[in-house]
Chains A and B, each alone.
Chain A
């Protein structure tokens, strides 16, 4: 007869039994659980290979029936409803609080793991709730049984049971067999989360301690459901960290596409300045240039400082020339620094086919300082460029 009884079904039976006795004084509960709880374990052991939750119930009745029979025989009030003095509604509230703190804690841990540091204050609050639940569960061991009896827990259990019996049953069984490996990986990932937050700082030490707890919580939660309050959030955090790490390793898929092209402005390839003349060789100023789609041909321009910035961007040409006088004051000089003579003979279509090199172009940067006009263009060449 082996008494190393850690089967989850036995623990659940005991939890429910404890819940059904929850209104009794603490001393009585612990005495009964010592005594009759030991009996349940012993009966489970006797069943040996035939053991199952159903077999245990067939032998002893449901935990609630067992507890009821025991109460009657012991002369306790039959059920907690008839007891007015003993904390009636509070345990249910506490159980519900513990349940939802676990749910929220698991979700928040996942969010934290995946790198949602913006929700840090909220996650911290949820963390406080989870720790509070753990303290509550520790101080009132019967609470775990009440959590087990909440309608939301029952619904969750039913969903899990259905999943385990459904078409994915084999996959789930296989995943379950990997659990010990996952417990180890989970502890490592929790420690890694500390590293991600601040290298080898305080958070890392905290995470290291949590990793130890996470490692413990896996096997413990099998027999003592209270460890779920550590185990589940740790698992969610680890899963989040795993996704985060994967995302960092494969950045292209997730991040590159997020930058729209407008973030990297592209300018048309214009020379640093453009001078325009009419057919009579008269220089035109304040000309606005557009491309074939009607979009302004804007280009960056550094002039004198206006409103704290030298930079502006528009499609007005020609740009003024920038000059500094003896005192270092900046001046923008308008006008055109040179003159051209436009050929009167040829029209532009035939002119554009002219093969000779456009030697008449003037580098505007060299012409910035001397404001004097230079007549340079040979008469045969149009100064279209």
Chain B
């Protein structure tokens, strides 16, 4: 099964999750997702997702000048973001549980 299809539905959750521990800029978030095992995630998708979560008021951003090059925009989870993460996390778990059950019957 093509995991990129699955990814579309849960990328929000994944991005929120990697930002829970520590603030990060776009490329940073992308690296953490890949390091976490989601190596099929597209660069542009991550930036788009960050943009959407920010526009939805779930993230705040601040700019950190970099001595090496262009300044970086860091994103951090705010209170609504944390709430969304908790809520989406619950939804995912119950969904995964349901699917596990179904698979258990099939297998």
A-to-B contact residues, CB < 8 Å: 1-5, 28, 31-32, 34-39, 41-43, 45, 60-61, 65-76
Q: Beta-carbon contacts of B48-80 to A below 8 Å, as 1s and 0s?
A: 111110010000000000101111110000000
A3, A38, A75: the one within 8 Å of B52 (CB): A75
Most buried by B among A5, A35, A72: A35
Which residues of B are found within 8 Å of A32, using beta-carbon distances?
47, 51
A interface majority secondary structure: helix
A28, A34, A68: the one within 8 Å of B73 (CB): A34
Contact A42 B27 (CB under 8 A): yes
Determine if B1 is an interface residue (Cβ-Cβ < 8 Å): no
5 contacts between A and B (CB under 8 A): A35-B73, A42-B69, A73-B47, A74-B49, A76-B48
A41, A61, A67: the one within 8 Å of B70 (CB): A41
B45, B51, B68: the one within 8 Å of A3 (CB): B68
Given the complex of chains A and B, what is the CA–CA distance between A68 and B50 in angstroms?
A: 15
Q: Beta-carbon contacts of B17-52 to A below 8 Å, as 1s and 0s?
A: 000000000110010000000000011111111111
Contact A5 B52 (CB under 8 A): no
Minimal beta-carbon separation of A280 from chain B (angstroms): 113
Contact B11 A73 (CB under 8 A): yes
Given the complex of chains A and B, what is the CA–CA distance between A121 and B45 in angstroms?
A: 53
Given the complex of chains A and B, what is the CA–CA distance between A75 and B58 in angstroms?
A: 15
Contact A69 B44 (CB under 8 A): yes
Q: Assuming the A-B contacts A31-B51, A74-B49, are A60 and B44 also in contact, with contact meaning beta carbons closer than 8 angstroms in the complex?
A: yes
Given the complex of chains A and B, what is the CA–CA distance between A75 and B56 in angstroms?
A: 11
Minimal beta-carbon separation of A63 from chain B (angstroms): 10
Given the complex of chains A and B, what is the CA–CA distance between A75 and B44 in angstroms?
A: 12
Which residues of B are found within 8 Å of A36, using beta-carbon distances?
26, 43-44, 47
Residue of B nearest to A67 (CB): B44
Given the complex of chains A and B, what is the CA–CA distance between A5 and B72 in angstroms?
A: 15
Apart from A4-B69, A36-B44, A38-B70: 19 A-B pairs, beta carbons within 8 A: A3-B66, A31-B51, A35-B26, A36-B26, A37-B70, A38-B26, A38-B71, A42-B69, A42-B70, A60-B43, A60-B44, A61-B42, A66-B43, A66-B44, A71-B48, A73-B45, A73-B51, A75-B52, A75-B55
Interface size on B, residues (CB 8 A): 23
A5, A43, A60, A73: the one within 8 Å of B49 (CB): A73
Contact A3 B69 (CB under 8 A): yes
Given the complex of chains A and B, what is the CA–CA distance between A45 and B42 in angstroms?
A: 19
Minimal beta-carbon separation of B91 from chain A (angstroms): 19
Residue of B nearest to A69 (CB): B44
Given the complex of chains A and B, what is the CA–CA distance between A159 and B59 in angstroms?
A: 47
Contact A39 B47 (CB under 8 A): yes
Which residues of B are found within 8 Å of A74, using beta-carbon distances?
47-49, 51-52, 55
Given the complex of chains A and B, what is the CA–CA distance between A93 and B27 in angstroms?
A: 36
Contact B50 A35 (CB under 8 A): yes
Contact A45 B51 (CB under 8 A): no
Q: Which 3 A-B pairs have the closest CB atoms?
A: A3-B69, A73-B48, A74-B48
Given the complex of chains A and B, what is the CA–CA distance between A2 and B52 in angstroms?
A: 30
Given the complex of chains A and B, what is the CA–CA distance between A42 and B51 in angstroms?
A: 19
Minimal beta-carbon separation of A345 from chain B (angstroms): 118
Which residues of B are found within 8 Å of A71, using beta-carbon distances?
48
Minimal beta-carbon separation of A33 from chain B (angstroms): 10
Minimal beta-carbon separation of A234 from chain B (angstroms): 30
Residue of A nearest to B45 (CB): A73
Given the complex of chains A and B, what is the CA–CA distance between A1 and B69 in angstroms?
A: 9
Residue of B nearest to A36 (CB): B47
Minimal beta-carbon separation of B48 from chain A (angstroms): 3
Residue of A nearest to B12 (CB): A73
Which residues of A are found within 8 Å of B72, using beta-carbon distances?
38
